[in-house]
Chains A and B, each alone.
Chain A
Amino acid sequence: MKGPQKYRSKGRIFADILRAVAEDGPVKVTHVLYKANLSHDRLTKYLQQLEESGLILRENDGDRDTYTITDKGTRFIAEFRKMEEFADAFGLDI
């Protein structure tokens, strides 16, 4: 039986999506969907927010959109990792 799913903050969801995009280069929505473990509607909303924040870049590849990470997005992942360790040192989650 599957246990209760751990709460993920918005920052952590952003980091998970960005990691999926960063690891596998230009990716399609379905790939991120699988890696980030989100519903299609929620992922679409988050991808839009990430694009507006300049963390990812959307390109049209024929009939589908692909996403690549920007320098700002890479910096976000690095900062998130550092802040994860910082909060963890205080026994807290982010």
Chain B
Amino acid sequence: MFPPRWFLPYDAAFQLITGLVALAVAVYALQGYRWVKERTLYALFLAFTLLSVALLVNSITLSYTYLVDMSFAHHAQGMCGVDIGFWVYYLISALAFLILVYAYASRLQDASIALASMLILGQRAVGGSIVGFAPYMELVLVALLVIIVLAQVFHLMAKRSWYSIGVTASFSLVLASHVLILFSPGEDTIHVVGRVFELAGFLTLLGVLYLLRRGR
């Protein structure tokens, strides 16, 4: 679940970059909201602002962990600042994805998809061995991202555009990254690949935002 020590500075930098990309999306949504006062845009602004805060908190936490030369073995010895940092990251991220899920579920046709995927995932989690070793919050993020990706895929099936293909690819990469991180304990390479996927996902989102701004 935690990155290898040599990867900590890179991990912190990756989280900083992804946090700034999320902030850029939030600012774009806010600019639009100021003009058209649509609830959907406010939901996107809120979700990406929270995501940006979560990622920046994680970046600070990882930097601190590296700078004070702390080992992740401390986790057996109770709560400390680093734990709080990680919990803040998980809770705010979950809230951000929950807002996105709510925005998707507000559309009637996607509400059933969201509910069905949540139930299927819930059954798998309870029945499988994954719960035994994976932190609960990481599993929550994966569940929320599955719903978001499913909603995106169903939207793509009905209406295809390069922008929505880009956003679907972006969320799929973020989902893949969280799944990999879920399975990463004891496997440093998987964790590193997971973080690279996450960065690639957010850079894809930045590309979509750039094209949207240019109006192409």
Q: Which residues of A contact B (CB under 8 A)?
A: 9-11, 14-15, 75-76, 79-80, 82-83, 85-94
B166 interface hit (Cβ, 8 Å): yes
User: Which one of B39, B151, B164, B215 lies within 8 Å of A89 (CB-CB)?
Assistant: B164
- Please state if A79 and B44 are interface contacts (CB–CB under 8 Å): no
State the CA gap A86–B40 with chains docked (Å).
Answer: 10
User: Which one of B38, B43, B100, B155 lies within 8 Å of A11 (CB-CB)?
Assistant: B38
The total of interchain contacts (Cβ-Cβ below 8 angstroms) comes to 77
Nearest residue, chain B, Cβ from A89: B163
CB distance from B46 to the nearest CB of A (A): 13
- Please state if A79 and B212 are interface contacts (CB–CB under 8 Å): no
Chain B 67-110: CB-based contact to A (< 8 A → 1; otherwise 0): 00000000000000000000000000000000010011001001
CB distance from A25 to the nearest CB of B (A): 23
Nearest residue, chain A, Cβ from B208: A89
User: Which one of B36, B37, B104, B161 lies within 8 Å of A92 (CB-CB)?
Assistant: B104
State the CA gap A79–B215 with chains docked (Å).
Answer: 10
Chain B 150-181: CB-based contact to A (< 8 A → 1; otherwise 0): 01101110010101101100000000000000
- Please state if A91 and B164 are interface contacts (CB–CB under 8 Å): yes
B16 interface hit (Cβ, 8 Å): no
Instruction: Say which one of B7-15, B27-35, B185-193 lies at the interface with A.
Output: B27-35
Known: A89-B208, A90-B44. A80 touches B35 (CB 8 A): yes
CB distance from B13 to the nearest CB of A (A): 27
- Please state if A88 and B35 are interface contacts (CB–CB under 8 Å): no
- Please state if A94 and B41 are interface contacts (CB–CB under 8 Å): yes
Instruction: List 5 tightest A-B contacts by C-beta distance, closest first.
Output: A91-B155, A89-B163, A83-B32, A11-B36, A79-B35
- What A residues does B152 contact at CB under 8 A? 90-91
- Please state if B41 and A82 are interface contacts (CB–CB under 8 Å): no
- Please state if A92 and B35 are interface contacts (CB–CB under 8 Å): no
- What A residues does B29 contact at CB under 8 A? 86
Nearest residue, chain A, Cβ from B108: A7
CB distance from A91 to the nearest CB of B (A): 3
State the CA gap A85–B32 with chains docked (Å).
Answer: 11
CB distance from B39 to the nearest CB of A (A): 8
State the CA gap A84–B39 with chains docked (Å).
Answer: 13
State the CA gap A39–B154 with chains docked (Å).
Answer: 35
User: Which one of A76, A87, A91 lies within 8 Å of B151 (CB-CB)?
Assistant: A91
Nearest residue, chain A, Cβ from B164: A89
A-B contact pairs, 16 of them (CB 8 A): A9-B39, A76-B36, A82-B32, A85-B163, A86-B163, A86-B212, A87-B41, A89-B164, A89-B166, A89-B208, A90-B100, A91-B151, A91-B167, A92-B43, A94-B38, A94-B41
